[in-house]
Amino acid sequence: MERMTVADAEREFGNLVKRVYSEGVSIELEQGDKVVARLTPGGPQSPLKVGDLNAFLQGLPQLGEDAEAFDQDLRAIRREFPAEGNPWD
């Protein structure tokens, strides 16, 4: 991860934001010897809204004849890799 001073970031802020967005880099901002902030890409945003989730899921293709084999595969995976317990219990 790259580092630059807050003063340099202030001078180049517009170009810095463009670079973080277009190249996907993260940059740590430092004052003195301390990292005081981090500039990172915002990440992708889904066009799907929560209210549309049920309709989206209903529109997915059905497994049909593969459903039983898929179920058996999932059960085998769960046996081989059991869920971790809650460490706070």
* Tens digits of residue pLDDT in 58-89: 999 888 889 999 999 999 999 998 888 777 76
Predicted local confidence at residue 88, as pLDDT = 76
Predicted local confidence at residue 84, as pLDDT = 80
Q: Which amino acid is at 63?
A: L
Predicted local confidence at residue 30, as pLDDT = 97
Model pTM score = 0.48
* Tens digits of residue pLDDT in 11-51: 999 999 999 988 888 999 999 999 999 999 887 767 778 88
